[in-house]
Chain A
Amino acid sequence: MAVVPQVAAQSTSEGSPSAPTARVRLAVNGVRHELDLDTRQSLLDVLREDLGLTGTKKGCNQGACGACTILLNGRRVVSCLTLAAMHDGATVETIEGLEKNGELHPLQSAFVEHDGLQCGFCTPGQIMSAVGCIAEGHAGSPDDIRFWMSGNICRCGAYPGIVAAVADAAKRV
Chain B
Amino acid sequence: MTMAIIGRPLARVDGRAKVTGAARYAADFNQPGQAYAVIVSATVGLGRVTGMDSAAIEKMPGILAVLSHLNAPRLAYGQHKSYIDPATGERLHVLQDERIRFHGQPVAVVVATTIAQAERAAAALRVSYNAERPVVDSAGPEARPIVPEAGRQPDARLPADKARGDADRALAESPVKVDETYDIARENHNPMEPHATIASWNGDRLTLWSKSQFVVNEQAEIAAIFGLPLENVTVICPFIGGAFGTSLRTWPHVTLAAMAAQHVRRPVKLVLTRKQMFFTTGHRPRTVQRIALGATADGKLTSVVHEGTGETSRYEEFMEALTSVTTFLYSCPNVRTRYRLVPVDTGTPNHMRGPGEASGVFALECAMDELAYKLRLDPIDLRRRNEPAIDEGENKPFSSRSLMRCYDLGAEHFGWARRTPEPRSMRDGRLLVGMGVASASYPAFHAPATARARLLPDGTAEVEIAASDMGPGTYTSMTQVAAETLGLPVERVRFSLGRSDYPPAPSHGGSWTMASVGSAIRAACIAVREEAAKGRTDRPIEATASSQRDPQAAERFSMHSFGAVFVEIAVDPDVGTIRVRRAVGAYGIGRVVNPRLARSQCTGGMVGGIGMALMERTVLDARDGRPVNAHMADYLMPVNLDILQLEAHFVEEADPHVNQLGVKGLGEIALVGIAPAIANAVFHATGKRVRALPIRIEDVLTA
Residues on A close to B: CB < 8 A? Answer: 1-2, 4, 12, 14, 16-19, 38, 40-41, 45, 48-49, 52-65, 67, 94-96, 98-99, 104, 107-109, 111-113, 115, 117-124, 127, 145-147, 149-163
- Rounded to whole angstroms, the CA-CA distance of A161 and B599 in the bound complex is 10
- Rounded to whole angstroms, the CA-CA distance of A65 and B274 in the bound complex is 10
Contacting pair B192 A111 (CB below 8 A): no
Does chain A have a CB within 8 A of B506? no
Tell me which residues across on chain B come within 8 A of A163, comparing CB atoms.
Answer: 640
Complex partner residue of B24 from A53, A54, A62, A112, CB under 8 angstroms: A54
Q: Which of B9-17, B103-111, B564-572 contacts A (4 or more CB under 8 A)?
A: B9-17
Complex partner residue of B193 from A2, A38, A64, A121, CB under 8 angstroms: A121
Within 8 A of A (CB), among B273-294: 273-274
Query: How near does chain A come to B687, taking the closest CB pair, in angstroms?
Result: 30
Contacting pair A58 B27 (CB below 8 A): yes
Query: How near does chain A come to B43, taking the closest CB pair, in angstroms?
Result: 15
Contacting pair B19 A157 (CB below 8 A): no
Tell me which residues across on chain A come within 8 A of B631, comparing CB atoms.
Answer: 60, 62, 64
- Which of A95, A118, A120 has the most B CB atoms < 10 Å from its CB? A120
Tell me which residues across on chain B come within 8 A of A55, comparing CB atoms.
Answer: 20-22
Tell me which residues across on chain A come within 8 A of B641, comparing CB atoms.
Answer: 146-147, 150
What are the interface flags for B57-68 relative to A under an 8 Å C-beta threshold, 1 for contact and 0 otherwise? Answer: 101111000000
Please list 20 pairs of residues, one from A and one from B, whose beta carbons are closer than 8 Å in the complex, sorted by A's number. Answer: A2-B124, A4-B120, A19-B120, A40-B120, A61-B274, A64-B274, A64-B633, A95-B21, A99-B20, A107-B19, A112-B15, A115-B12, A118-B601, A119-B192, A119-B241, A120-B19, A121-B192, A152-B639, A157-B604, A162-B640
Known: A157-B643, A159-B643. Contact between A41 and B116, CB under 8 A? yes
Contacting pair B117 A157 (CB below 8 A): no
Known: A49-B114, A59-B193. Contact between A150 and B11, CB under 8 A? no
Known: A40-B120, A119-B471, A157-B603. Contact between A60 and B632, CB under 8 A? yes
Tell me which residues across on chain A come within 8 A of B632, comparing CB atoms.
Answer: 59-60, 62, 64-65, 153
Does chain A have a CB within 8 A of B239? yes
Tell me which residues across on chain A come within 8 A of B14, comparing CB atoms.
Answer: 120
Q: Which of B252-260, B426-434, B542-550, B605-613 contacts A (4 or more CB under 8 A)?
A: B605-613
Does chain A have a CB within 8 A of B87? no
Tell me which residues across on chain A come within 8 A of B240, comparing CB atoms.
Answer: 119
What are the interface flags for B14-58 relative to A under an 8 Å C-beta threshold, 1 for contact and 0 otherwise? Answer: 111111111111011010000000000000000000000000110
Query: How near does chain A come to B504, taking the closest CB pair, in angstroms?
Result: 23
- Rounded to whole angstroms, the CA-CA distance of A52 and B30 in the bound complex is 8
Q: In this complex, what residue of A is CB-closest to B638?
A: A157
- Rounded to whole angstroms, the CA-CA distance of A53 and B682 in the bound complex is 46
Q: In this complex, what residue of A is CB-closest to B472?
A: A118
- Rounded to whole angstroms, the CA-CA distance of A61 and B637 in the bound complex is 17
- Which of B18, B123, B126 has the most A CB atoms < 10 Å from its CB? B18
Contacting pair B637 A153 (CB below 8 A): yes
Complex partner residue of B473 from A52, A104, A118, A154, CB under 8 angstroms: A118
Contacting pair A104 B20 (CB below 8 A): yes
Known: A64-B633, A153-B632, A157-B608. Contact between A56 and B242, CB under 8 A? no
- With A54-B21, A156-B192 given, name 11 new contacts (CB 8 A): A2-B57, A19-B116, A40-B120, A54-B27, A94-B21, A96-B21, A107-B19, A145-B640, A146-B640, A146-B643, A159-B607
Known: A40-B120, A54-B24, A146-B641. Contact between A118 and B471, CB under 8 A? yes
Does chain A have a CB within 8 A of B539? no
Tell me which residues across on chain A come within 8 A of B596, comparing CB atoms.
Answer: 115
Tell me which residues across on chain B come within 8 A of A124, comparing CB atoms.
Answer: 19, 21
Does chain A have a CB within 8 A of B233? no
- Rounded to whole angstroms, the CA-CA distance of A109 and B190 in the bound complex is 27
Does chain A have a CB within 8 A of B325? no
Contacting pair B116 A40 (CB below 8 A): yes
Complex partner residue of A156 from B16, B19, B59, B471, CB under 8 angstroms: B471
Known: A57-B241, A121-B25, A157-B606. Contact between A38 and B15, CB under 8 A? no
Does chain A have a CB within 8 A of B600? yes
Query: How near does chain B come to A75, taking the closest CB pair, in angstroms?
Result: 19
Tell me which residues across on chain B come within 8 A of A149, comparing CB atoms.
Answer: 640
